[in-house]
Chain A
Amino acid sequence: MTRRVVITGLGVVSPIGIGKQNYWDSLVSGKSGITQISKFPLEGFASKIAGEISNFNPEDYGFSRKDIRRMDLISIFAVIAANEAMEDANIVITDPYRAGVMVSSGIGGITTFEIQHSNLIERGPTRVSPFFIPMMIQNTTPGEISIRFNLKGPNFSIASACASSTHAIGESFETIRRNDADIMVTGGAEAAITEMAVAGFSSMRALSTRNDEPEKASRPFDRERDGFVIAEGSGVIILEELEHAIKRDAKIYAEVTGYGATADAYHITAPCTSGLGSAKAMEFALNKAGISINDIDYINAHGTSTPLNDKIETTAIKTLFKEHAYKLAVNSTKSMTGHLLGAAGGAEAIATVLQIQNKILHPTINYTTKDPECDLDYVPNKARNFEIKNAISNSLGFGGHNASIVISKYE
């Protein structure tokens, strides 16, 4: 019999709130987390806005001075989110080899990289910190989580740019299904609001330059959208095999029922205009869940607010769902949070679960002008009462990666 996988814990660090309750309150009220960048001087930068974790002091979350010196901000965000998720799930680990961690990042410890590269240039190779490599490589983030919670099962991270954490959740789901673990701590973290990352994404013309109106800059599916807004944070969930969760009388938020992954095999950054890669990822996820297109009532879109993504994702949805595309609801969490890159899928899986649980759809904010090429129901500007039975969460990444998961109401 196929092992079923449920979600029993949530933890989030986002520009619209740390902790799932703060996050949810902001999502429902349509609050933007986008402001002018405070982390570095902005002269010469085309895009000067981001979704930062502001007023944030790691010591308030129990990190020692030594932790802070040895951990990139990615791991700090991830550990805070993992901590909340583990407490929420109220798990006591009995067999550590049956509990794994797959927490991903799209970029890795780029803050650390920049600081240490400056050390190299200004002071020479002997002044590069011994912590440079462990802080910079993204897989030390799941390593760090394993140490803190004594989780000795499968442990690694997945790199697929902005699809990283949806891949992580999907692969963790498979890890439990194939009986390699009973518990997986999964999702993603990102901390890439740095000079190099913002300059690089700017050079790709990927970022919004609506610098005068930061809160209105992330406007997925709106005709006036002009790029994504970079953001940081972490979204971590606890996946657990159903019988394991029932046996310990765990609170069950929802069930992960499907996962599909494809590649566009088209261009390293531009999504394939047909949208077929993303449509296929959604189709494969539905097949795995054993449901049909008409069973899906909600899609948490990748919805980045770039001209290309939103148009092609709309095409992909219409390609797969045909007429049903106009009946289901689609929204973009990124309209409020900005784009958490490799952490986006984690934060958006949590948004999806909270919407299932609360029977409310959060809005896509900043939707003012209809784009003829984006003609679905994007839940514009106002939250809505809505019962979700089966939802898809999509993530697409530079490199042509497409990942979709199906999250269903648990029954």
Chain B
Amino acid sequence: MNREEIYGKLKELMVDKLGVDEDKIKENSHIIDDLGADSLDVVEFAMGIEDEFNVPKIPQDDIEQLTTVNSILDYIEDKTK
């Protein structure tokens, strides 16, 4: 999957799990500050990423680093290489 495809699927996941409108999502969006997620949303969103992209369980330390759409895209790209 290339970055474009990952981004497309990630947007769908964010619409579903974070309840945001798709047009609000930008690559530099901060998922807490810009997209209104709280700590519980972030955990559920991480579970969604694991399921959707078939990546191994995301450690808590990594979850805390994944604050922007860009950083999440990098992470998924890296884990699905």
Contacts and interface: CB of A to CB of B under 8 A. Distances in A.
Interface of A: 64-67, 69-70, 126-127, 129-131, 134
23 contacts: A64-B19, A65-B15, A65-B19, A66-B18, A66-B19, A66-B20, A66-B41, A67-B19, A69-B17, A69-B19, A70-B40, A126-B47, A126-B57, A127-B47, A129-B44, A129-B47, A130-B39, A130-B40, A130-B43, A130-B44, A131-B40, A131-B44, A134-B40
A126 B47 CA distance: 8
**Which secondary structure dominates where chain A touches chain B?**
helix
Contacts of A67: 19
Q: Which 8 A-B pairs have the closest CB atoms?
A: A66-B19, A130-B43, A130-B40, A65-B19, A130-B44, A64-B19, A129-B44, A131-B40
B56 to A, nearest CB: 11
Interface string B48-63: 0000000001000000
- Chief secondary structure at chain B's binding surface: helix
Nearest to B15: A65
Contacts of A64: 19
A61 to B, nearest CB: 16
Contacts, number: 23
B16 to A, nearest CB: 8
A69 B41 CA distance: 10
Interface string B8-23: 0000000101111000
Contacts of A127: 47
Contacts of A129: 44, 47
Contacts of A131: 40, 44
Interface in B1-45: 15, 17-20, 39-41, 43-44
Contacts of B44: 129-131
Nearest to A129: B44
A337 B19 CA distance: 34
Contacts of A65: 15, 19
Nearest to B17: A69
A126 B15 CA distance: 22
A64 B41 CA distance: 15
A64 B19 CA distance: 7
Contacts of B17: 69
A134 B19 CA distance: 18
A67 B20 CA distance: 11
Contacts of B40: 70, 130-131, 134
Interface centre among A64, A65, A131 (most CB of B within 10 A): A65
Contacts of A134: 40
B75 to A, nearest CB: 18
Nearest to A126: B57
Contacts of B47: 126-127, 129
Contacts of B43: 130
